Amino acid sequence: MSDVVYQADDFAKVIRIVKEAKNRAYRKINEELIIMYYDVGKCVSEEASEAKYGDGYIERLAEYFAENSPEIKGFNRAGLYRMKQFYETYKNEENKLSLLTQISWTNHLKIMSACKTMDERNFYISMCIKDRLSKRELERQIDSSYYERYMLSQKPIAPKTDQIKKVTGNVFLDNYVLDFLDAPDSINEQELKKSILNNLKDFILELGKDFVFVGEEYKVEVGNHDYYIDLLFFHRGLSCLAAFELKMGEFKPEYIGKMNLYLEALDRNIKKANENPSVGIILCADKDDEVVEYTLSRSLSTTMVSEYNLKLIDKSLLQRKLKEYMELAEWSDDNEQ
């Protein structure tokens, strides 16, 4: 017997090959399943649309499956109706079928049941593909009205704020929902930070999966003084450090000066040569957009000021706000023409 002692790293390559093959197999199986559900849905939709069949066709088809192929699961009455709905939802979007095959059937069911418009469906489909969202993660994003909050964050506010949004690729929201912290309204900043760290996976999901956690109370040295950034992340898409400061009350202008100091220290002493300039995000319980704009107007800082909510926001309220914004945007476009 050989006396050679092997380490875990010696087997890593083989393990990686096996895992990659299994992932490819899963993706291929999922792709074929989605195409099958789409094709079955098309057949059921077309047959059921005939007057001589109607809904009775689906009932009899479900019974036929139950009697002749009971081992095949998912083709009961409810399942066949879902496949029919799937086809009818996307039948005019056949050019997107390759995208539809990239997410799971359970995620499709959630999107179909929860989303009202094609824009909203496409948004969550893209998010599922980009961030590889699990069923639970997708449900959380939909339940927290992520689509509405994202779209409202694209709303023009003021030149300086819009400029910062453009520089940062519109990856930051104007409002973040931290309901997963299950925190009381009377929480202080230290408790808020501790709760975020205890729920870091959910916090990163809310921010976006391109964020990678670097550290808490991250020390930067300026002259003879030490300063501590509440939370420091790295954003892979922007290729830059992202400093987060947590504030319990309303935004105050002096917060920008302190953040500028942090960003300058990061860029001079921490940022690598191949990385972009650092960005800052001040998370406040409340903000006045006009005060934010006045504060930022003469600053060169790439700092966003966002609100956070410890409870879920009323989805219908966000939908009304989004509808008003879209109608106003359409009215402005018509007038410009």
- pLDDT confidence band for 178 (50 / 70 / 90): very high
Residue 335, in any domain of the structure = no
> Is residue 70 located within the same domain as residue 166?
no
Q: What is the mean pLDDT of residues 112-122?
A: 95
Q: Is 10 exposed, middle or buried (0-12, 13-18, 19+ CB in 10 A)?
A: exposed
Split at pLDDT 50, 70, 90, the class of 270 is: very high
Q: Where are the alpha helices (DSSP H) in the chain?
A: 8-48, 55-68, 77-90, 97-100, 105-114, 118-131, 135-143, 146-153, 159-167, 189-198, 200-207, 254-265, 289-296, 315-336
* 213 DSSP β-pair partners: 233
Which of 111, 130, 129, 131 has its CA nearest to residue 121? 111
Do 31 and 134 belong to one domain?
yes
Interatomic CA distance for residues 278 and 271, integer angstroms: 8
Please report whether residue 324 resides in a domain: no
**Reported pTM:** 0.84
Question: At 154, is the pLDDT very low, low, confident or very high (cuts 50, 70, 90)?
Answer: confident
pLDDT band at 6 (very low <50, low <70, confident <90, very high): low
CATH number at residue 298: 3.40.1350.10
Question: What percentage of the chain exceeds 90 in pLDDT?
Answer: 65
239 touches 275 (CB < 8 A): yes
Indicate whether 3 belongs to any domain.
no
How much is the pLDDT for 94?
74
Position 53 scores a pLDDT of: 58
Where residue 306 falls among pLDDT bands split at 50, 70, 90?
very high
Clarify whether residues 90 and 239 are in a common domain.
Answer: no
Burial of 12 from C-beta contacts in 10 A (0-12 / 13-18 / 19+):
exposed
Rounded Cα gap, residues 18 and 197, in angstroms: 33
Same domain assignment for residues 288 and 266: yes
What single string gives the DSSP state of each residue in 25-88? Answer: HHHHHHHHHHHHHHHHHHHHHHHHTSTTTTHHHHHHHHHHHHHH-TTSTT-SHHHHHHHHHHHH
239 and 284 co-located in one domain: yes
Same domain for 309 and 175: yes
Note whether 301 and 259 are within 8 A (CB).
Answer: yes
User: Which percentage of the chain shows pLDDT scores above 70?
Assistant: 93
Same domain membership, residue 211 and residue 184: yes
The yes-or-no verdict on residue 161 having pLDDT over 90 is: no
The total number of structural domains that make up the chain: 2
SS3 annotation, 52-65: CCCHHHHHHHHHHH
In angstroms, rounded to a whole number, what is the distance separating the alpha carbons of residues 26 and 29?
Answer: 5
Task: Please report whether residue 336 resides in a domain.
Answer: no
Q: Given the structure tokens 């953040």, which residue do they identify?
A: 259
- Are 185 and 227 contained in the same domain? yes
- Same-domain pairing of 70 and 215: no
Please determine, for residue 147, whether its predicted confidence score (pLDDT) is greater than 80: yes
For residue 226, list its beta bridge partners. Answer: 221
Residue 6 CB partners (closer than 8 Å, separation 6+): none
Average pLDDT over residues 122-137: 95
In a domain, 25, yes or no: yes
Residues 6+ apart with CB under 8 A from 291: 251, 253
Domain identity same for 135 and 189: no
Based on the fold, state whether residues 143 and 163 are members of the same structural domain: no
Give the pLDDT band (50/70/90) at residue 310. very high
Highest averaged pLDDT of the listed ranges 152-166, 189-203, 313-327: 189-203
Question: Is 1 part of any domain?
Answer: no
Residue 258 lies in a domain: yes
DSSP annotation of 267: I
Place of tokens 């990061």: 266
Local confidence band at 331 (pLDDT 50, 70, 90 cut-offs): low
Yes or no: say if 156 and 162 are a contact pair by the CB < 8 Å rule: yes
3-state class (DSSP) for residue 300: coil
Cβ(125)–Cβ(93) below 8 Å:
no
Average pLDDT over residues 80-105: 92
Residue 335's pLDDT is: 56
Are 119 and 179 members of one domain? no
Report yes or no on 323 lying in a domain: no
Contacts of 108 (CB under 8 A, 6+ apart): 34, 86, 100
What range defines the domain where residue 163 resides? Answer: 157-318
- Would you place residue 246 in the very low, low, confident or very high pLDDT band (cuts 50, 70, 90)? very high
pLDDT surpassing 70 at residue 337: no
pLDDT tens digit sequence for 23-68: 889 889 999 999 999 999 999 998 888 756 566 888 999 999 999 9
